[in-house]
Structure 1
Amino acid sequence: MEEKPNRGLAPPPGEIEIHTPDWAKHAVFYQVFPDRFARSSRIRHAPGLKFQPWGSEPTLDGFQGGDLLGVVDKLDYLEELGVNALYLTPIFTSASTHRYHTYDYFSVDPLLGGDAALQELLDAAHRRDIRVVLDGVFNHTGRGFWPFHHILENGGNSPYIDWFTVHDWPLNPYPKDKDTPSNYSCWWELAALPKLNTDTPAVREYIFEVARHWVRMGIDGWRLDVPHEIDDDDFWRTFRQVVKGENPEAYICGEIWSEARRWLQGDQFDAVMNYVFTGPVISFFAADTFRQDYLHPHLPFKATEADGLAKQIDRMYGLYDWEINFALMNMLDSHDMARLSWITQDKSAVRLCVLFQMTMPGAPCLYYGDEVGLTGGPDPECRRAFPWHDESQWDYDLLKFYRRAVALRRAHETFRVGRLCTLKAEGPIYAFSRELGDSRSVAVFNASTERQTVRLELPSRVEKRLQQVWPLETHEEHTVDGTSLSCTVPARDAIVLVQED
């Protein structure tokens, strides 16, 4: 077989000027799992459709009826929370609650309200300067996808035979048990998810047209599901050209759980879901409480002392250009892992993780419901319905905290695009500064259960007064002498100081 050019090769250094969308650097994302976020009374479904009661125990195949107009109806809430970008898990027509089993890429699932509901969401969100990013599942489809169905009906005589990879006949789309292998290429040997053959030119053109279509409709970017499994850099380079040709400021973010230099050279993705951030942060701030039997298998990096956290953070940001670093989607949890509160088992650890997320480079991404204390273990427990139906379940103190932490990030540009300098990483103390022009922020985190007095050497002389902006309820002692800072940090908290231009 002829070897394909450019596969797996990074572009030569210095040949590409890296640019990521400016809005993404200033974004606070909110991840929505549509079936479980909100159900709107404005959706008129056909008579007789049956959903599980809202708030039922989550199951892999139980539809609870969330929809896109439900998201529209909650935009006031989301705006008050402070988020300015939405990442929606798949919304195209599919036969699964999570909709990763796509069978029509050119239509929004009628259960979610169809294309009209998406257009209303885009229009309403954009009026509020909230961006909307969709989930693109281009490695595999559902077995109901029409070209695959065509092969089921016509066998090897189907014109679409090269859209998939068939190993044997007759096709076995419904194996009798889990030990019976499928006889066509599929994702993780799941017969319900036949793998597209992206070496076929018609498949590539189809995917590129899907990407083009929805950007033209007004979406602000793509989150790409398992893009590393389309092991062809030239495919993703062309994908980028197609998307950026429609909107140069569209955001392209890949689901890569490990380091991702291969895809972040300026010619493929703008960013990745930054799970490299997740493991060290959770394990440091929840060192005494996090479930030792759980970090997701793709989150191997643990850090129980500040120096370990610093090494992981420094390594992570050293992987990429700062245009990339500022646009990384920094995760603490998602639909693919247990929720933060379940992993940490400690509300103070949740608070420290979130505040750290809001003050570090990269766009924070909040998973729906975390802010009101929604919890749950691995899938499907992590996909519970948002408790709109019972606000007695809400943790209002935690919600207030989230709003304040998001507001802190959005109020100070240094936390979004300021350069980062680690000041101290020792024992329970992790301190850093962020600088942008003449503006400076200093954050000192204390993971211990006792107050700590900390002395820091700053990277440059302080010419103006540093103002405390966190905690908001108390004034903590701090003094500055030239390039030295002394401060007292409350137990299981942080002190944040800013010096504005």
Structure 2
Amino acid sequence: MEKAMLVTDDVSTSLAFSSQQPPNWVQDAVFYQIFPDRFRRSEGSLARKEHAFQPWGSPPSRTGFQGGDLDGIREKLDYLQELGVTALYLNPVFASAANHRYHTYDYYTVDPLLGGNDALRRLLDDVHTRGMRIVLDAVFNHVGRGFWAFHHVCESMEQSPYRDWFRIRGYPLRPYTTPEAGNCNYEAWWGLPELPKLNVDNPVVQGYLLDVARHWIDFGIDGWRLDVPEEIGTPGFWERFRSVVKGASNDAYIVGELWGTGRGWLDGDRCDGITNYELGRLALGFFARDSLPAEGISISGYAVPGLEAAAFAGRVEKMLKTHAWEYALASLNYLDSHDMPRIHHLAGGDAGAVRLMLAFQMTMPGAPIIYYGTEVGITGAGDPACRKAFPWHQPETWDHDLLSHVRWLVQLRREHEVLRRGYCIHLRARDAVFAFKRTWHGKIALVVFNAGRSDTRVQLTNVGGTVEHFTLTDARDSSALRCIDGRFEPVHVPGRDVRIFTGREDRPPSA
């Protein structure tokens, strides 16, 4: 299979207005997702011993707190920078009675267990001093049952001025019933009584949420990740949200949690990017095909079949053609997250598959996002097992070879603009080989994957090339690869490995 995969610089793939453009910094970023309760408990918190937290590294549970906080993240910024991370996405940080903090009860207060507003101020200042960014989680579809307005309705019932903030079917409210009982008498997310849905059709509720969005942008955060935005169907709300956020900072990033294609969300009036879980599903289906059952698996309702190279390439092409090119570059490329099993678990412990998946993530268009601990080999099934504490206390359990591999990949991406901004063209999708190149203003990166277990030699034609003769350099060992008369010299790729070459298409081959 030798054909152009994605885009050229045709104007039909570009956005017409600068106001629609995603922030320029996103396509150059390497994101790192942190589940705050499980990343790092700060030295100050350990010294104060003021809360009865579970011991760090306890088996994760849906209700237990292990005491990770924002100062703990500050203490590990050196580690994150050494990894090559330039932007942090934090799971919710606002006051909540849940360890994941999706049960918000005060949007204007950072949870005291995380250090409060002062701790976020310190973290933002340190992050920005280092030239890094922070994106927070906007959970606006639902609140916790401790949310002040909901509590008011619980106490005052139909006399509460806040009764129209929710969709209530009867009084008194039953906030501590169970989904199994089936008698929750207000709309709740997935029928969970602890998560009352906000009535975003109410203009007062809209004004409240938009003020929250503006408040924290003014405070200094660099963007919002929108939690389940499709579940807020109020016409015009997300367009107004974008207007408010961009009015406060045009450089702020808005990314929507969308598990599918995200059609309709990247048209310049709502989001700058989506959570591109499709990339991870495709990578799993191809690179970990041998570890999947014959019928494939399902992740959050999305099928993940085993994929042959040609089918994999076709679905990658379809994924990248879904949106305007600028949005492809500004979407977050996920392999795993807090809402799904970790890739080490999904790949059945196949370390080679994980290494290839990470290489694919780091070389494809879009901003890669590393889920905390993936780089050292943390594994686990779905929630809560995918939310283990980072093993700072057990460095002997780390996969140090994998950590070095991730550092190398991130450094390569940061050093070569073509891997962050370049257009993408398929060169080969056959047997266990998937090869593509990325080009950008004369720069080129050639990426050749061998998902098989045997070594192979790959002969590639420089599809779409404008120069017949040039030389590339192997990113790992600095050896030369020549392109002569539009054909590359054979590339030897060991089993379960990737070769990456970089250079320019306008330089003649060495003698």
* Equivalent position of 1:122 in the other structure: 124
- Describe the superposition over 1:276-317 as per-residue Cα deviations: whole angstroms up to 9, x where unpaired: 211111110001014666431333243421111111111111
| Aligned position for 2:110 | 108
Q: Distance in 2 between matches of 1:181 and 1:483?
A: 69
* SS of structure 1 residue aligned to 2:333: strand
Gap change, CA 1:401 and 1:298, over 3 Å in 2: same
State whether structure 2 residue 161 is matched by structure 1 residue 159.
Answer: yes
Alignment of 1:341 with 2:344, yes or no, is yes
Q: Check 1:80–1:233 CA distance in 2 against 1; reply closer, same or farther (3 A cut).
A: farther
Structure 1 residue aligned with 2:250:
248
User: What displacement does 1:43 show?
Assistant: 3.7
State the Cα deviation string for residues 4-49 of structure 1 (Å, max 9, x = none): xxxxxxxxx9875530011101011000000000000224898752
Contact 2:297–2:305, Cα closer than 8 Å, also in 1: no
Instruction: Summarize the Cα distance change of 1:488–1:139 in structure 2 as closer, same or farther, 3 Å threshold.
Output: same
Is 1:490 the equivalent of 2:494? yes
Q: What SS does the corresponding residue of 1:69 show, helix, strand or coil?
A: helix
From 429, 444, 448, the counterpart of 2:448: 444
Deviations 1:120-172 (A, max 9, x none): 11010111111000001000000000010010011111111110000122211
Distance 1:54 1:387 in 2: 8
CA contact (8 A) 2:300 2:340 kept: no
Rounded to whole Å, the distance in 2 between the matches of 1:131 and 1:36 is 20
Structure 1 residue 178: Cα displacement: 2.4
CA contact (8 A) 1:59 1:380 kept: yes
Alpha-carbon distance change, 462 to 96 in structure 1, aligned in 2, over 3 angstroms: farther
- Find the aligned partners of 2:217 and 2:432 in 1 and give their Cα distance: 46
Q: Provide the residue aligned with 1:456 in structure 2.
A: 460
- Distance in 1 (alpha carbons) for counterparts of 2:398 and 2:436: 33
Question: Whole-Å Cα distance in 2 between the matches of residues 442 and 241 of structure 1?
Answer: 40
**Which segments of 5 or more consecutive residues in structure 2 lack a partner in the other structure?**
1-13, 507-511
The answer (yes or no) to whether the contact 1:258–1:298 under 8 Å persists in 2 is no
Amino acid at match of 2:221: I
Aligned to 1:5: none
- The 1:55/1:473 distance shift into structure 2, 3 A limit, reads farther
Is the 2:473–2:481 contact (alpha carbons within 8 Å) kept by the matching residues of 1? Answer: no
The amino acid across from 1:296 in the alignment is: I
Residue 404 (structure 1) aligns with: 408
Decide which of 191, 200, 203 is 1:201's aligned counterpart.
203
Cα offset for 1:374?
A: 0.8
2:364 corresponds in structure 1 to 360
In 2, are the aligned partners of 1:453 and 1:489 still within 8 Å (CA)?
A: yes
Residues 436 and 418 of structure 1, relative CA distance in 2, 3 Å threshold: same
Q: How far apart, CA to CA, are the structure 2 residues paired with 1:445 and 1:229?
A: 38
Are 1:369 and 2:373 counterparts? Answer: yes
Residues 252-291 of structure 1 show CA distances to partners (whole Å, capped at 9, x for unaligned) of 0010100112111011000011012111111100010146
Report whether the alignment pairs 1:323 with 2:326: yes
Of 187, 193, 202, 1:191 maps to 193
Matched, 1:24 2:26: yes
Distance 1:455 1:44 in 2: 57
Pair 1:480 & 2:475 matched: no
Q: Which moved more, 1:420-429 or 1:479-488?
A: 479-488
User: Which residue identity lines up with residue 25 of structure 2 in the other structure?
Assistant: W
The answer to whether the 8 A contact 1:276-1:299 is kept is no
Relative to the length of structure 1, the TM-score reads 0.94
- Matching residue's letter, 2:336: D
Q: How far apart, CA to CA, are the structure 2 residues paired with 1:272 and 1:233? A: 20
Q: Secondary structure at the match of 1:457?
A: coil
Q: Within the alignment, does 1:467 sit opposite 2:473 as a pair?
A: yes
Match of 1:142 in 2: 144
* Cα offset, 1:393, TM superposition: 1.1
Spell out the pairing of 1:83-94 with structure 2 (5 A cutoff): 83-94=85-96
Unpaired runs of at least 5, structure 1: 1-12
What residue in structure 2 maps to residue 427 of structure 1?
Answer: 431
- CA distance in 1: counterparts of 2:244 and 2:73, whole angstroms: 28
Between the aligned partners of 1:92 and 1:403, the Cα distance in structure 2 is: 31
- When residues 46 and 392 of structure 1 are mapped into structure 2, their CA distance, relative to the original with a 3 A threshold, is closer
The CA deviation at 1:67 is: 0.1
> Paired residue for 2:239?
237
Instruction: Provide the rounded CA distance (Å) in 1 between the counterparts of 2:79 and 2:178.
Output: 46
Alpha carbons of structure 1 residues 321 and 301: separation in structure 2 relative to 1, 3 Å: farther
Q: Name 1:175's counterpart in structure 2.
A: 177
SS in 1 for 2:238: helix
Distance 2:15 2:442 in 1: 30
- Alignment identity in percent? 47
Q: Supply the AA of the counterpart residue of 2:218.
A: R
- SS of the aligned residue for 1:295 comes to strand
Does the 8 Å CA contact 2:239/2:269 hold for their aligned counterparts? Answer: yes
Q: Which runs of 4+ in 1 moved over 6 A?
A: 44-47
Looking at structure 2, the residues matched to 484 and 81 of structure 1 have their Cα atoms a distance apart, in angstroms, of: 36
Deviation at 1:248, TM superposition (A): 0.3
TM-superposition CA deviations, 1:90-137 (whole Å, max 9, x none):
000000000000000000000000001001110101111110000010
| Match 1:65 to one of 67, 70, 95 | 67
Please provide the CA RMSD for this pair: 1.8
Aligned to 1:59, what secondary structure does the other structure show? coil
Residue number in structure 2 paired with 1:81? 83
* Paired residues of 1:187 and 1:195 also in contact (CA < 8 A): yes
Q: Give the aligned partner of residue 305 of structure 2.
A: 302
| 1:176–1:350 distance in 2 versus 1, CA, 3 Å | closer
> Using a 3 Å threshold, how does the CA distance of structure 1 residues 491 and 20 change in structure 2: closer, same or farther?
same
The amino acid across from 1:170 in the alignment is P
Change (3 A) 1:329 1:464: same
Whether the 8 Å CA contact 2:458–2:492 is kept in 1: the answer is yes
Deviating more after overlay: 394-403 vs 110-119 = 394-403
Q: Following TM superposition, by how much is the alpha carbon of 1:395 offset from its aligned partner in structure 2, in angstroms? A: 1.2
1:466 aligned partner, one-letter code: L
Q: SS of the counterpart of 2:330?
A: coil
